Chain A
Amino acid sequence: MTTPVLDVKQLAVQIPVADGILHAVRDVTLTVARGETLCVVGESGCGKSLTSLAVMGLLPGSARRTAAHMRFAGEDLLDMTPRRLRDLRGNRMAMIFQEPMTSLNPAWTIGDQLTEPFLRHGKGNRREATDRAVFLLERVGIAAAGRRLVQYPHELSGGLRQRVMIAMALMCGPDLILADEPTTALDVTIQAEILHLLAELQREFGMGLLLVTHDLGIVARVAHRVAVMYAGEVVESGPTVTVFDEPRHPYTRGLIDCIPIPARSRPGVPLGTIPGLVPSLVGGIEGCAFRERCAFATEPCARPVPVTTGAEGHAWRCILPSAVPSLLENPA
């Protein structure tokens, strides 16, 4: 068993806010292997973006992160010196952000921003940097790459800018890419193209890909494995097919039920919903965070719920003895 590219155990992030301490991430355990795509899925505010920021060491100044361990290709990330962390960033682990429109510096050319990490991490000289930039721009589907190099970000559309961001992440040949909702801000047709591109690139370059999203459709399409997050915790994780076929946590089941399926959802039949609201994360939470909204909750759910593991690395945080049945009138 080779060393996973990313190995995180019991990651927690706390942010001081006006009324106390916000436990934005409470307990996240996940691994990403080389050549594998792990999707972290959950609704807004569940802490999935902060998880990837915590890995990269890009949390806001007042935030505190703790973990049992957090390793990148075997190297400890928690106690790493800032200098070493900067050496890794943009080099062996790279990040793609959600907003392509504002993630590029308007005052510098595309070419300059692409070659920057390459030169900074000593991968070669300026000539080689430019060559690689052109190669990658073409690889991500941007025609006339040479001309694009001297253009400024505002001269490119959102879809093009996101492709540039992907190329930028690949400049130094990273072992791990963290993509935080890379397609959310784009048109639906472009979304499909970008996802297809990411999957292709992964097959070709073999890096690990941690893809954060709120869209289960994306998970179904590209993820080898999935981690479902709720209220700062991973509530279920495992191979995508297994989790989708036999969800062991009611929240996962709720998410799956929520997906409208054009062929099957008929007029007059209510779409799936999950009643209730996400609990506040200020101050700790006792027991299962989902129990207020869960149709299957019982008294023991008020106490801390242990993680149960099953076959092929399928793990879940629920005491239900078997797969959660669908709550729809006419389940898929």
Chain B
Amino acid sequence: MLRFTLRRLLLALVVGIAVSAIAFMLLRISGDLAISLAGEDASPAEVERIREQYGLNRPIVVQYAEWLWRAVQGDLGRSLFYPESVANLIMSRLPVTLTLAGLGLVIALLISLPLGIIAALKRNTWVDRGALGIAVIGQAMPNFWFGLLMIFFFGLALGWLPISGSDTWLHFVMPAITLGWFSAPVLMRLTRGGMVEVMTSDYIRTARAKGLPGRVVVLKHALRNAIIPVVALCSVQFGNMLSGSVIIETVFALQGIGYLAWEAISRRDFPVVQGILLLVALFYVILTLVADILNAWLDPRIRRG
């Protein structure tokens, strides 16, 4: 178990470096960063000055090596528009996004687990088809549009919830629901599939033969086995929510790293962009590792060989 974890951590590191390298390169080769920064009407002299100032005239590999060297020491550079360092900037906005993603995951589970279990127990009835229908529609909606609809209904028309900012917990309700709603379908299908398969197992028959009440059979015996892949998927979904925060946070004007990313990208604040991409990539890799660990830990057959 330990060796496995160490190997995966090493892989995480390598992938993290690869991702940061890709992000770094992409920003510089997809166009001329100096021109983007200077603006379209800038004179060639201004563009040249910007190139000098930010060291964009040096070979890419050199630029990257320097940035990487600083990054591993915790120095991600300074923002071009904000007075703080990139690291501070990101750290100050991170809690909002983490809270949002966490709430989103909770909501996704609240929707998908009960629906998935009931759909599995009442297969091919209208409950099952209804749940699958919800899943299908949920996956087809653009999440920004769903967010806007929610703003319209609950924010404007009914006035129940605030529509922008991140001051109170109420501000997180709609964004979290939007995030959760988008992840729920895939979680629900996995739960349903797992439950359907597990419920036909012999050990479920044994549990019934012991006279255990239905609730115990379903929750303690069936779900405990069916949920293993779902838990692992949750970890990955959390990562997706971090990435999708860009859209949700801009729609709801939440001051998280997603919003920060969008701001920075719009303004070509590339140190911030690089910093955020590195951070999210590292999160992803670690979350995948966590998913594998959870998978192994929850299944005694793997845990104790």
Contact = CB atoms under 8 A, between A and B. Distances in A.
Contacts of A103: 202-203, 205-206
B300 A120 contact: no
Contacts of A89: 208-211
B171 interface: no
B73 interface: no
Nearest to B208: A58
Contacts of A56: 209
Contacts of A168: 210
Count class of interface residues, chain B: 20 to 34
Contacts of A152: 300-301, 304
Contact of B203 (A85, A86, A106): A106
Most buried by A among B208, B224, B225: B208
Nearest to A100: B202
A85 B214 CA distance: 12
Given A99-B202, A105-B203, A120 B299 contact: no
Interface string B217-250: 0001100110000000000000000000000000
B262 to A, nearest CB: 43
Most buried by A among B202, B209, B298, B300: B209
A49 to B, nearest CB: 12
A47 B227 CA distance: 35
A95 interface: yes
B212 A106 contact: no
B210 A107 contact: no
A253 B144 CA distance: 77
Interface string B275-286: 000000000000
Given A103-B203, A104-B203, A58 B304 contact: no
A166 B162 CA distance: 62
B19 to A, nearest CB: 36
B21 interface: no
A102 B207 CA distance: 12
Nearest to B216: A120
Nearest to A105: B203
B215 to A, nearest CB: 11
A120 B225 contact: no
Contacts of A282: none
A89 B212 CA distance: 8
B139 to A, nearest CB: 30
Contacts of B224: 105, 107-108
A104 B209 CA distance: 12
Given A86-B213, A89-B211, A97-B202, 16 more contacts: A89-B208, A89-B210, A90-B212, A97-B205, A97-B206, A102-B201, A103-B203, A103-B205, A104-B206, A105-B207, A105-B224, A106-B203, A106-B299, A116-B212, A120-B213, A120-B216
